[in-house]
Structure formats: C-alpha cells, structure tokens
Amino acid sequence: MSALPPVPREAPRTEPTLHERLDAVAATCPDQRIRFHSENAELTYAELVASSTRMAAGLAEHGAGPGDTIGLLAPNGPEFLQAVFAASRLGTAACPLPLPAGLRDLVEYGHRTATIVAASGMRHLVLSTRLQRMLGARAAQFGASAVLDSRALVDSSAELAPRSVDPASPAVLQFTSGSTSAPKGVVLTHANVLACAESITEAIALGPADAHASWLPLFHDMGLFGTLTGIFTGIPVNLWNPAAFVKDPGRWLAEFAATRSTISTMPNFAFDALLDAEPQGLELSAWRVCFNGAEIIRPASVAAFGARFAPAGFRAEAMTPGYGMAEATLVATLPPLGRTPVVDAVDREELTRGRVVPGTKEIMGLGRAVPGMEVRIAGGAPDGTVGEIELRGAAVTGGYLDGTCPFTDDGWLRTGDLGYLRGGELFFAGRVKEMITVRGVNTYPADVEAEAGAVPGVRRGRCVALARLEPHEHVAVVAETAAPEAEHKALRHAIAARVRRALGLSALTVHLTAPDSLPRTTSGKLRRLATAALLER
C-alpha cells in the first residue's frame, strides 16, 4: 500500500549468485568505478571481475573449495570486495571479521576473533596486505590453518576452472549477533543477499543515475550489503574507512559532497557528529536517499541535521530511517520514497507497559515492509499493539550456523525487538533480547557481567548487568560488595574501567549493593528482571 505510484524500472536481474550478478553487471559497465578514498585505490567493475577471479584461483590452490568458510580481515579497500566475490566463485562463504578499533585491548580482540574463527570452522583467513604490519603476527594465532596475504592471492597465476555454485549455499557468514562467549553466525545464502539487494533497489528506485557512498566498515552488515546493492546496479561506489569519518566528520561530508553521491548509509550518531560541520560551500542537493539505521534513531538528531543542512540543499525527504538486522540480511522496513520523516509521540510510562497512548516521547516511524518482506507484531496483533517484531521474506536467514533457528512455530523470524504497527508503519518500542546497540555495535549484558564479576572487591560472580534504553541505550551493572562505603567510588571506577577496556563500551552505569541483596536464581533472564525492579526502587 505505498503512497507513491509504482516507479517504472528495468526488469530485475536474474543471475542467481553474487559473482554471476557481478559479472553480468560488469559486462554492461566495465569501466564504472569503485573508489576506496581512504586507501587511495580504485577498481573498475571489469578489474573487480578479473582480480576476484585470480584471488579465487589463488584460494583454490590453497585448498579452499565448496562448503568452506573464508575468513576476511581487511579495511574498506579493493581486497575486501575481491575476497567476497572470490569466495562466491568457489562456492565458499565469506566471513568478514571485525577490525580492532582505537585502543581496544588487543588481547581481548584476539580472543574474540579466535572465538569466531573456531565457531565458523574456517581454515583460510585472507589478511589484507595493508594490515600485515599491524596484525600479521597476531592473525597467525587466531586459529585458521592458513593466513593468506591478499596481494599474493590476487597475483596468483593459477587458472580457475569454471564451477557451478548453488544459490541456496551460504555466501556470507555474518557474526554481528551473539555474545563474546557464544558468537552466533548468521548464515546468508546467495538467494538471501540478492533478495535483499532487490528489495532495496525496488524500494528506493535505485538506477543508473545514482551513486553509492559509505564510510561504514564492510565487515558490518549495513556497510557490506549497502555496497553490494550499489555494485549490483552498476553505479559509481565511493567508500571511506570509518576512521576518516570519525576523525573529521566535516571533512568527510565535503568529500562526500564532491562525489555527488545520491545514496548514503549511516547510523544515527553520525548525524549528531555532522552538526559541527559547516554547511557553507556544500552542495548536497544530489543526496536523495540518506539511510539512517543500525541503532535507535532519535527524532531530535534527524530534525537538527535537516535544519542545519537545508541551506546546503539537503532535502528533509532524503532522510530515510529504516529497520533491519543481520538476520534479515540488512533491511526489513523503509519509508515510502520521497516522504519526510514521520514521528509518533507516545507516553513513555505506558509504552514500557506495552500500551501506546499519546504523550511526549517521540518515536521515529521506520516505514513499511520493503518489497519481498513481511512484518507483523507478535503473531499478527492489531495496529497499536506493542509486541515482538516478526519478519518473513526471501532475505531472511534460514538460521544460525550452530543450527539454532530464531523462528516462530509458523516460520517467522523472531527479531527480539519490540514494536508496534500503525497503518503499516513500524515503530520501535524496546527490546525483548538482552542486548544493546550503540553506534551499530551490539553488546550483551552477559559479557559485561563476566568482566565486572572478575574485579577484586566484587563478591565472586555476584553481579548482574542489564540492557536499558532510558535515558539513552546503555548497560547498567549492579554488583554486590562487602567493601566499606569509603571504597565504593574506587570500586565503581575499577568496574567501569575493566568493562571499557575489555568491551570498548562507554555506555555504562555502575551500581553497588550490599551482599545477598541481588536475586539468587540461575536464570539470567529472571535475575535481570528482578534486578531491574531493584534499580527502579
């Protein structure tokens, strides 16, 4: 029930695998360019076809074949995309691994990466030549039997015999869900990824006049599948490394504007960061779809950004807040094209009790189910009912690598998020799952508990961490201590320091309580519910 008439477009492509789709698109626009601004590199589509084929041949020489998983550690450079398509050509799944950020504890980073390597069962790990000095020695200890240099693979002189790849086989293994101790790999088939690209293409009428831009890491679902969608349309693609944006948002915006890109993907915090940028001299009128997702969207951020950059030609209707998750490849709902953002105002207290009543808390409308996707609340509850958001569609995963399936009895994806629908429009209301998402990064209370519980002064294992959404998304940790009051400040600092160091999480509050005041139950969920009640008092 879109408010807009259908947009005429070319017939959808039908090539069933990632590399076949790339090859077909590249045949129509061999000289179109993908620019990697932070790495001073670029690839034409024809070069991406040829170099990903050589990399596939190189991987095959090292024994990679159908059913394998290829790990990938690379910045937003040519080798990332080469490896994704090389994996596709071999009938193997590409498994992007997160890169360390800032001063993140390297021991902790190595531990987390090794856990993912073990969970995925990967034998081959492609390491970007650019990261050799920084990560080479460490990568050898992540557990993959072969760590292969990206440039050496692309320089392979081996021939790759053509092979047929099953569209129902895994193309990407995405490890953004799951706690540090139990990482969950989302299995995405060629069919899933192409369905997602098709949904986005249709929803935003993506066409030859567009250009895609992103500084999100390609190891993140929003970075990767946004970029692939652009590539499958044969348009110019502009990529930066995340550091380029974070270090100087204003400079990034100027570079973005200079590319005359029409499509961008960013989480909400980026719009706050851009408020310091100078609108003077910027020309932003080409920007027609400004995706906002991967964390809770604040209506205030959207409004402030729109007001600040309207004089530079930014149009309010370009802001495109959406809802999605790795389990649905990327996107589930988007607003109708050309609509200015829609905001609901509800009562905060009533919302926590599951009721939608007019009030002052503003919630961003996240649009409607994209083509090929269906959305419902708690098994099909009526409009205005708060319940778990459920999804069904061709882009939804068949399950996690460990065999677990996050589905309802009738086959819909359980998102673990709460929301309500109003006239088909989705509004986010909270989380069922024990997780917070800050700046696109998921953090699990169980991981925070493991760190906080190990701090001297905390009674052994006696602490509970909770995901909380008010006043902003954060984790509250409550720890039992027998230490005298005078030492509490230092203990709170020690707990916060350890969690920050290990998990890179600053969205944290620490509370101390007397021995035996926390509920004793072995169920993590019940323990957290009872502790939440304790915090409210």
Q: Smaller CB distance to another protein: residue 315 or 501?
A: 501
Core vs surface per residue 403-421: b (16+ CB within 10 A) or e = eeebbeeeebbbbbbbbbb
The verdict on 506 binding another protein (CB under 8 A) reads yes
- The CB-of-170 to another protein minimum distance in angstroms stands at 30
Q: Smaller CB distance to another protein: residue 133 or 520?
A: 133
Residue whose token pair is 């969205």: 507
What whole-number distance in Å separates Cα of residue 418 and Cα of residue 352? 10
Interacting residue with another protein among 123, 376, 500, 511 (CB under 8 A)? 500
What whole-number distance in Å separates Cα of residue 531 and Cα of residue 401? 32
Q: Smaller CB distance to another protein: residue 29 or 494?
A: 494
Q: x/- binding map, residues 261-300, to another protein, per CB under 8 A?
A: --------x-------------------------------
The verdict on 103 binding another protein (CB under 8 A) reads yes
Q: Smaller CB distance to another protein: residue 18 or 74?
A: 74
The verdict on 324 binding another protein (CB under 8 A) reads no
Q: x/- binding map, residues 405-444, to another protein, per CB under 8 A?
A: ----------------------------------x-----
Here the tokens at position 121 are: 């069962």
Residues contacting residue 390 through CB under 8 Å, at least 6 positions apart: 375, 376, 377, 378, 379, 408, 412, 413, 414, 415
The verdict on 501 binding another protein (CB under 8 A) reads yes
Q: Return the HEC string of 191-238.
A: HHHHHHHHHHHHHCCCCCCCCEEECCCCCCHHHHHHHHHHHCCCCCEE
Q: Smaller CB distance to another protein: residue 222 or 496?
A: 496
Interacting residue with another protein among 7, 106, 140, 182 (CB under 8 A)? 106
CB atoms within 10 A of CB 374: 13
Q: x/- binding map, residues 239-258, to another protein, per CB under 8 A?
A: ----x--xxx----------
Residues contacting residue 226 through CB under 8 Å, at least 6 positions apart: 200, 212, 214, 216, 263, 265, 291, 330
Here the tokens at position 326 are: 């790795």
Interacting residue with another protein among 27, 493, 516, 523 (CB under 8 A)? 493
Which one of the spans 65-73, 165-173, 427-435, 504-512 is the region binding another protein (CB under 8 A)?
504-512
Quick one: which of 437, 192, 238 has its CA closest to 331? Answer: 192
Tell me which residues touch another protein (CB under 8 A): 100-106, 133-134, 243, 246-248, 269, 439, 493, 496-498, 500-501, 504-507
